[in-house]
Structure 1
Amino acid sequence: MGGVDERVRSAGRMRAHANAFVTRVTARNRLPLDYSVASLRVVDFLIDGLRKGGAQPEHVHGTLFGLGAYVGEVLVRRAGAVWVDFDAEQQAFFGQPVGVRMPDGRVWNPLGKIHNRFASGVPEDSLHTFYLTLPGRARRAAGVGATWGL
């Protein structure tokens, strides 16, 4: 699905990148990428499909980046996270320029999580499970949405 323009790699552009990715991949397919927690199972399925198809990381870098942006945006919309630009130390640690900060102050690396899932292919690296076990999520007020994003 193409490479990633380096200008997109800033916290302020990640929502737009996630939305463009969803529009692009759902235009031809009926994938339920609706920013729900359940849709993270679709992300796991897509990554498994890329692996089973023998895709090389350098050939699917843009797709993996789009999936990482999508997962990060699910964290923003469902868990109360915000996109942040990593400082130099965080970039060196995570290997990515952006990530998300949870309501409790912890930072997470959804882009790296996607790459790890692609590299390992093991169910223990599931993005859906990652969300469900993620500490620091914000509770949603009753009547506003699903509590704990479930």
Structure 2
Amino acid sequence: MLTWQVWAVLAAVFAALTAIFAKLGVAGIPSEYATFVRTIVVVALLGVIVTVSGQWRSPAVLGGRGITFLVLSGLATGASWICYFRALQLGDVARVAPIDKLSVVLVAVFGVTFLGEHLSLPNWLGVALIAAGAMLVAYRA
């Protein structure tokens, strides 16, 4: 089994590829429709993975709290994707993606604020550098 760090790096690689492929894919297509097509592909792929790996379960086993937060997460994901694809249509991928990654900064703030997580001074410095870096990459001189 791979470590969380390996999975996180793989997620970053696939997120980068997502940005490039999406920028190419939204050319001449309404961003909401492009998001819809992407979502169908994601649902189909995950359906195959869940079925082949034997993870298929009734949603009833999740319980009310689990379902509620997964639905909210799904709504947030959909909103994020719609906004992201619209931004890709309007802007350069090299500038849109770093702004999108400001979610890393927001996750740190939300994790501390709402989940009671703790970050050390070096962690906060890293968060500040991510924010500054995203803004510098997005800056058009």
Normalising by the residue count of structure 1, what TM-score does the alignment of the two structures yield? 0.35
Which one has a bigger Cα radius of gyration? Answer: 2
Structure with more strand by fraction: 1
Normalising by the residue count of structure 2, what TM-score does the alignment of the two structures yield? 0.36
